[in-house]
Amino acid sequence: MRFSTAAAALLTIASGVSAWSVQRPLVKGYAFPSLIDATLDDLVEGLESGRFTSVDLVKAYSARIHEVNGILHMVNEINPDALSIAADADALRANGTVLGPLHGIPILIKDNIATDDKMNNTAGSFALLGAKVPRDSTIAAKLRKAGAVILGKTNLSQWANYRSANTTNGWTAYGGQTFAAYYPNQDPSGSSSGSGVSSSLGLALAALGTETSGSILAPSDVNNLVGIKPTVGLTSRYLVIPISEHQDTVGPMARTVKDAAHLLQAIAGPDPMDNYTRAIPDRGKIPNYVAACKYDAFKGARIGVARNVLDIWAEMIDPPVLAAFNEAVKEIEAAGATIVDANFTGFEAFQNDKNETLVLDADFISNLANYFSELTFNPYGLKSLADLRNFTHNFKAEDWPERDTAIWDNALKEGWNNTDPRFWKAYQANLYYGGEGGILGALERTNTSAVLLPTQLSPTIPALVGAPVVTVPMGFYPANTTVRLDDFGGTVASGPHIPFGISFMGPKFCEADLIGFAYAYEQRTHHRHDVQPYIVPNMELADFVS
Ligand SMILES: *[C@@H]1O[C@H](CO)[C@@H](O)[C@H](O)[C@H]1NC(C)=O
Ligand SMILES: *[C@@H]1O[C@H](CO)[C@@H](O)[C@H](O)[C@H]1NC(C)=O
Ligand SMILES: *[C@@H]1O[C@H](CO)[C@@H](O)[C@H](O)[C@H]1NC(C)=O
Ligand SMILES: *[C@@H]1O[C@H](CO)[C@@H](O)[C@H](O)[C@H]1NC(C)=O
Ligand SMILES: *[C@@H]1O[C@H](CO)[C@@H](O)[C@H](O)[C@H]1NC(C)=O
Ligand SMILES: *[C@@H]1O[C@H](CO)[C@@H](O)[C@H](O)[C@H]1NC(C)=O
Ligand SMILES: *[C@@H]1O[C@H](CO)[C@@H](O)[C@H](O)[C@H]1NC(C)=O
Ligand SMILES: *[C@@H]1O[C@H](CO)[C@@H](O)[C@H](O)[C@H]1NC(C)=O
Ligand SMILES: *[C@@H]1O[C@H](CO)[C@@H](O)[C@H](O)[C@H]1NC(C)=O
Ligand SMILES: *[C@@H]1O[C@H](CO)[C@@H](O)[C@H](O)[C@H]1NC(C)=O
Ligand SMILES: CC(=O)N[C@H]1CO[C@H](CO)[C@@H](O)[C@@H]1O
């Protein structure tokens, strides 16, 4: 089944806020899970009981993607082999082989995580269209091993938002402008923009994103999702288009904490092709993240609030967000936690520090060249950032100079990479502002297991040291919110019904604890159901089961 942009008429244009109601079409007395709310447990139950197949799921999700892609541009490519992979998964299940909970479950991945199949891995640039990788990225290989069906590649902010000082979130030359679904022309945030929109609208069970500083957390925030930004080194970056080996990480963006935990379970683990994964404790053994989802996780826990960050960045936080955050802190206390201030003591000084840019620039020069060198086919023979910049300036669809290459211009002007002695000095500053002067110091001094912030403020400091963060929906902007456009006028950055979340920040490799807290908060509040997208696809499983 195919729907073009003309299918817009078929879409349900919802009225924004409404009571949460699940419409479950009944077929012969069976209620199919509604795909915008379906959990992994719902899908596994249906697959196990034979109510529907993995092939049905692929057909339904593909149809949903086609319904909205002409408006929201959240998916760059659908896997041409998805149906046959699903058929194989169904055949295996039929004769008793189930690879795990994700067996036969469609998942979307960001268009910077490589697959060795018919799909491209582009970071949204024509520079990489048609390029070939020697094998699957480790993340894609792990998804397949877990039985998941890689359904397609999601749009993003081009080069994971590491190119331009005057572009919009969610724009790429290859995929166009992604919009989010809670307000017309909504800024989808980024850089995992398409993953956020797709997961929120139920265009797959969930999606994977990548983060260097905020690229999972921020789009999860505005798309009403749970996002897990894992510790750098918990998930392999092999054959993921890089920004920075010191900050990049791959993680899930899902509608529930438990589903995000299932996905993290499948993708975490040591990889000889990414030596940062050697830092995983317990000889690389991965805890049971799903079992960590405990309703009573707050009982007896000490939880911090980074009070001074709220004060120093007060003008960045809107009254509805602050009010919801204060309410959340009370709810967490009522659930059994002791709440204390956990200030980031270096945060004031950090306001004037620019070392992070030096680290990212230097890493990008080295890591991008390394990615190019891994390709088995490189359509334009690009070897370096300088080559890519030249390509971008000469390829019309890359929209230069309308969207500049200021980030690359600066990196090349500095002119050194991460083998330079200057790199280590800059990196030491990061380690202080993220560590002793940031999240790690705050956790240690206050003997807390997690520190809270509104997600709008949470990504920056943990990013500096590769520490983990989990975001959960916390509320949405009220109907009387003034519409504000992004700096270039292309998208609605702030407006009515746009969701926001709360972040749980913790020590490295303590994802299980953060998942427990996130689950305990989610199960008490269910804020995802407070607000509905203005646009939702209509196709459901019942339209496809034979
Ligand atoms: C199960 O199905 C697979 C794929 O069709 C096949 O290769 C395998 O031999 C089957 N095993 C059994 C026990 O029937
Ligand atoms: C990948 O890009 C090539 C163009 O180089 C195109 O022919 C192909 O259809 C793309 N793959 C998918 C799955 O869209
Ligand atoms: C990985 O290797 C790089 C150099 O190849 C080195 O700088 C880095 O410390 C190593 N990391 C780990 C975690 O072993
Ligand atoms: C730290 O907090 C835990 C409770 O989370 C408590 O069991 C422990 O005794 C505390 N340690 C110190 C040194 O205060
Ligand atoms: C945290 O910082 C705020 C200022 O932003 C201050 O009022 C508060 O006393 C500090 N808390 C502690 C425990 O130092
Ligand atoms: C980097 O950090 C060092 C040490 O804190 C500081 O002296 C320097 O000014 C910082 N550089 C930039 C560009 O912010
Ligand atoms: C990194 O810098 C070193 C020293 O200047 C140089 O030899 C090397 O070619 C550079 N590597 C990249 C990928 O730019
Ligand atoms: C720059 O790009 C153009 C067009 O892609 C190409 O013809 C030229 O050789 C490139 N120049 C350099 C220095 O790589
Ligand atoms: C972006 O910056 C470039 C270079 O300064 C400029 O030519 C271009 O007009 C700018 N685009 C927008 C949309 O402001
Ligand atoms: C929106 O309404 C609330 C009361 O419901 C009020 O406190 C707030 O100031 C209003 N905001 C705007 C931007 O009008
Ligand atoms: C799968 C899909 O619909 N891909 C589209 C992504 O966006 C680009 C640019 O708008 C289209 O050309 C693709 O067809």
Query: Could you write out the DSSP letters of every residue in 78-147?
Result: E-TTHHHHHHHHHHHHHTT---STTTT-EEEEETTB--SSSS---TT-GGGTT-B-SS--HHHHHHHHTT
**How close is the Cα of 133 to the center of ligand 8, in Å?**
23
Percent of the chain clearing pLDDT 90 (strictly above): 94
Q: Which pLDDT belongs to residue 489? A: 81
What is the DSSP secondary structure assignment for residue 211, as one 8-state letter? E
| Predicted model pTM | 0.95
CA distance to 164, 188, 257, 331, per residue, from 325 (Å)? 32, 22, 19, 10
Cβ of 480 below 6 Å from ligand 10 = yes
Q: What is the CA radius of gyration of the chain?
A: 22
Encode pLDDT of 137-188 as tens digits.
999 999 999 999 999 999 999 999 999 999 999 999 999 999 999 999 999 9
Q: Which pLDDT belongs to residue 26? A: 60
Atom of ligand 4 nearest to the CA of 338: 5
Determine which residue's CA is closest to atom 1 belonging to ligand 4: 447
Atom of ligand 5 nearest to the CA of 312: 5
Looking at all shown ligands, the one closest to residue 484's CA atom is: 10
- End-to-end CA, the chain: 14
Encode pLDDT of 78-122 as tens digits.
999 999 999 999 999 999 999 999 999 999 999 999 999 999 999
Encode pLDDT of 229-243 as tens digits.
999 999 999 999 999
Alpha helices in 146-288 (DSSP H): 158-161, 193-200, 217-222, 257-267
Q: Cα–Cα distance between 248 and 409 in angstroms, integer? A: 21
Burial (CB < 10 A; 0-12, 13-18, 19+), residue 529, is: middle
**How close is the Cα of 351 to the center of ligand 5, in Å?**
17
**How close is the Cα of 480 to the center of ligand 10, in Å?**
6
On the question of a cis peptide bond just before residue 478, with omega within 30 degrees of 0, the verdict is no
Determine which residue's CA is closest to atom 13 belonging to ligand 11: 76
Active site residue 503: no
Atom of ligand 7 nearest to the CA of 416: 2
Atom of ligand 2 nearest to the CA of 77: 14
Q: Which pLDDT belongs to residue 14? A: 44
Q: Which amino acid is at 53?
A: T
Encode pLDDT of 1-58 as tens digits.
222 232 333 344 444 444 334 445 566 678 899 999 999 999 999 999 999 999 999 9
Q: Which residues of 78-108 are buried (b: 16+ CB within 10 A; e: fewer)?
A: bbeebbebbbbbbebbeeeeebebbbbbbbb
Q: Cα–Cα distance between 416 and 258 in angstroms, integer? A: 43
Looking at all shown ligands, the one closest to residue 119's CA atom is: 2
Neighbours of 4 (CB within 10 A): 10
| Those residues with Cβ within 8 angstroms of residue 394's Cβ, 6 or more apart along the chain or in another chain | none
**How close is the Cα of 389 to the center of ligand 8, in Å?**
10
Q: State the average pLDDT for the chain.
A: 95
Determine which residue's CA is closest to atom 6 belonging to ligand 9: 402
Closest CA to 386 of 357, 419, 415: 415
**How close is the Cα of 245 to the center of ligand 10, in Å?**
44
Model confidence band, residue 215 (pLDDT cutoffs 50, 70, 90): very high
Determine which residue's CA is closest to atom 13 belonging to ligand 3: 276
Find the mean pLDDT for residues 464-492.
96
Active site residue 192: no
- What is the token pair recorded at 340? 């204390």
Determine which residue's CA is closest to atom 7 belonging to ligand 1: 92
Cβ of 487 below 6 Å from ligand 9 = no
Dihedrals phi, psi of 388, to nearest 5 degrees: -65, -40
Q: Which pLDDT belongs to residue 490? A: 86
Q: Specify the length of the chain in residues.
A: 546
Active site residue 508: no
- What is the token pair recorded at 479? 């109907």
Cβ of 406 below 6 Å from ligand 9 = no
**How close is the Cα of 98 to the center of ligand 3, in Å?**
37
Closest CA to 321 of 172, 189, 477, 186: 477
Cβ of 379 below 6 Å from ligand 8 = no
Burial (CB < 10 A; 0-12, 13-18, 19+), residue 134, is: exposed
Q: Cα–Cα distance between 429 and 420 in angstroms, integer? A: 15
Cβ of 409 below 6 Å from ligand 5 = no
Q: Cα–Cα distance between 195 and 206 in angstroms, integer? A: 8
Q: Which helix (H) or strand (E) holds 56?
A: helix 54-72
Q: Is 497 helix (H, G, I), strand (E, B) or coil?
A: coil
- What is the token pair recorded at 489? 């006028």
